[in-house]
């Protein structure tokens, strides 16, 4: 049996207001062909299928078209869990219809843990999957009036770990043949490396979950949320597949992957890194105005033919006029998505920061909060609970 682990597709994502529909379409075509050519039996998608809780009709069509096409491939079972960007309602709405196509969907934590555990049998090989979605505080922790902030966060972490223990217990209960057991998850784990495109999902100690906190009964933990493919805590059975497409210029320095597990004789006998093609070329130019201009001629597309996207970081001591830079770029076949100044002498406030941005939409809420605190002379490092409280409020608003 071959199982493909992927996550963080973020269908509908826009990079600095530029649609990534083209490379996402190419990825879905690529993964369909990979499944066919390599005879993949099971597909696991560990959260953040969509970039927002209200995906566009275009994104929904991409998603459903892909799932329908899988019916004609070797892939006979699909399990999809919700991420922090997904709307549980949107994912769960067609779950009964998708179930007829052997596609299981767990958009949010369920009332009965057995509804998150699935047994898959293909070609005389069996696997048990504990499909744990992104665990929202309100879904797993019972609030008590008068709780302190530390009590709240400690109880959330305990509830989260207990949810995985319950999943492992249910897996063991139905595992009558000693089959391999896989857990899915969408969270931040200690030791994970993040990129600019991720919004940390911790509240207080929410992110302080290590590889050792997952029950040892799991033979593999298929994680989503962090966009860099990586092993957690040097434990090779706890892994992030990463996002298949570049979602931030901070991600241009490493390859994108999916992970393929092979099961033989009731054991996971192999975990293979499969590199995803770079469907669009991304360039991050760093240097003086003159140095960046000389690099324009070296910017080229690839065999997929999509227009290269460029970020420019100018190493200048003062604000410079970038009109000539933009004018010279018109002679080349690439798009400049962002220009920023690396060596600003001081930050006067959010308004100055936005002068070189297209809109406030380019800033994450966490960035705006940090900038405002800096502008007011408020030191978040001295009062980390304020930073934690802001993240709690942010996640509560996003999950409405």
- Encoding tokens for residue 309? 């996207």
How far is Cα 79 from Cα 131, in angstroms, rounded to an integer?
A: 7
Q: What is the DSSP string of 181-221?
A: EEEEEES--TTPPP-TT-----STTTT---GGGS-TT-SEE
> Which of 283, 335, 349, 268 lies closest to 313 in space, CA to CA?
283
pLDDT at 398: 60
The answer on pLDDT for 143 being more than 60 is no
φ/ψ of residue 232, rounded to 5? -100, 130
> In angstroms, what CA-CA distances link 61 with 24, 36, 96?
12, 21, 18
> Which of 30, 115, 34 lies closest to 74 in space, CA to CA?
34
Tell me if residue 95 falls in helix, strand or coil: helix
Q: What distance separates the 2 farthest-apart alpha carbons in the chain?
A: 70
Q: Over the stretch 342-378, which tens digit does the pLDDT of each residue have?
A: 765 444 455 555 555 545 555 678 878 888 888 777 8
The answer on pLDDT for 179 being more than 80 is yes
156-392-364-376 Cα dihedral, nearest 10 degrees? -140
> Which of 262, 277, 274, 272 lies closest to 41 in space, CA to CA?
262
The answer on pLDDT for 147 being more than 90 is no
> Which of 232, 188, 228 lies closest to 395 in space, CA to CA?
188
Domains of the chain: 2-276 (3.60.21.10), 281-345 (3.30.160.720), 360-400 (no CATH)
Average pLDDT, the chain: 87
- CA-based end-to-end distance of the chain: 39
Q: Over the stretch 123-138, which tens digit does the pLDDT of each residue have?
A: 889 999 999 999 987 7
pLDDT at 11: 98
> Which of 9, 80, 73 lies closest to 40 in space, CA to CA?
73
Mean pLDDT for the stretch of residues 8-32: 97
Q: Over the stretch 91-133, which tens digit does the pLDDT of each residue have?
A: 999 999 999 999 999 999 999 999 999 999 998 899 999 999 9
How far is Cα 193 from Cα 120, in angstroms, rounded to an integer?
A: 32
Are the C-beta atoms of residues 162 and 131 closer than 8 Å to each other?
A: no
Are the C-beta atoms of residues 394 and 368 closer than 8 Å to each other?
A: no
Centre a 10 Å sphere on the Cβ of residue 278 and count the other Cβ atoms it contains. 16
Alpha helices in 318-360 (DSSP H): 323-329, 350-355
Reported as a pLDDT band with limits 50, 70 and 90, residue 310 is very high
How far is Cα 47 from Cα 133, in angstroms, rounded to an integer?
A: 7
Q: What proportion of the chain, given as a percentage, has pLDDT over 90?
A: 65
């Amino acid at each position: 049996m071959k199982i493909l682990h992927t996550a963080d597709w973020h269908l509908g994502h826009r990079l600095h207001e530029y649609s990534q529909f083209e490379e996402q379409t190419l990825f879905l075509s690529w993964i369909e062909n990979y499944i066919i050519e390599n005879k993949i039996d099971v597909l696991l998608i560990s959260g953040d299928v969509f970039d927002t809780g209200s995906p566009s009709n275009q994104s929904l069509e991409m998603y459903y078209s892909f799932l329908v096409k899988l019916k004609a491939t070797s892939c006979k079972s699909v399990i999809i869990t919700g991420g922090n960007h997904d709307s549980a309602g949107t994912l769960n709405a067609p779950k009964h219809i998708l179930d007829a196509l052997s596609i299981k969907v767990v958009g949010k934590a369920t009332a009965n843990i057995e509804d998150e555990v699935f047994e898959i049998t293909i070609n005389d090989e069996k696997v048990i999957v504990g499909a744990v979605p992104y665990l929202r505080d309100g879904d797993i922790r019972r609030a008590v009036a008068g709780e302190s902030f530390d009590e709240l966060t400690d109880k959330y972490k305990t509830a989260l770990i207990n949810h995985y223990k319950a999943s492992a217990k249910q897996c063991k209960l139905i595992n009558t043949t000693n089959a391999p057991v896989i857990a899915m998850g969408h969270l931040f784990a200690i030791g994970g490396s993040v990129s600019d495109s991720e919004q940390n999902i911790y509240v207080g100690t929410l992110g302080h979950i290590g590889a050792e906190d997952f029950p040892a009964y799991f033979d593999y933990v298929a994680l989503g949320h962090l966009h860099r493919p990586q092993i957690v805590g040097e434990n090779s059975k706890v892994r992030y597949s990463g996002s298949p497409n570049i979602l931030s210029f901070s991600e241009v320095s490493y390859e994108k992957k999916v992970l393929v597990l092979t099961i033989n004789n009731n054991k996971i006998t192999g975990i293979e890194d499969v590199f995803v093609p770079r469907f669009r070329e991304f360039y991050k130019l760093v240097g003086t105005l003159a140095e960046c201009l000389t690099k324009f001629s070296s910017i080229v597309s690839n065999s997929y033919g999509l227009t290269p996207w460029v970020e420019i970081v100018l190493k200048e001591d003062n604000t410079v006029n970038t009109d000539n830079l933009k004018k010279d770029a018109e002679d080349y076949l690439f798009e400049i998505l962002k220009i920023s100044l690396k060596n600003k002498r001081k930050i006067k406030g959010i308004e100055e920061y936005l002068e070189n941005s297209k809109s406030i939409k380019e800033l994450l809420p966490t960035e705006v909060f940090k900038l405002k605190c800096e502008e007011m002379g408020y030191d978040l490092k001295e009062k980390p609970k304020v930073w934690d409280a802001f993240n709690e409020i942010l996640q509560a608003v996003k999950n409405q």
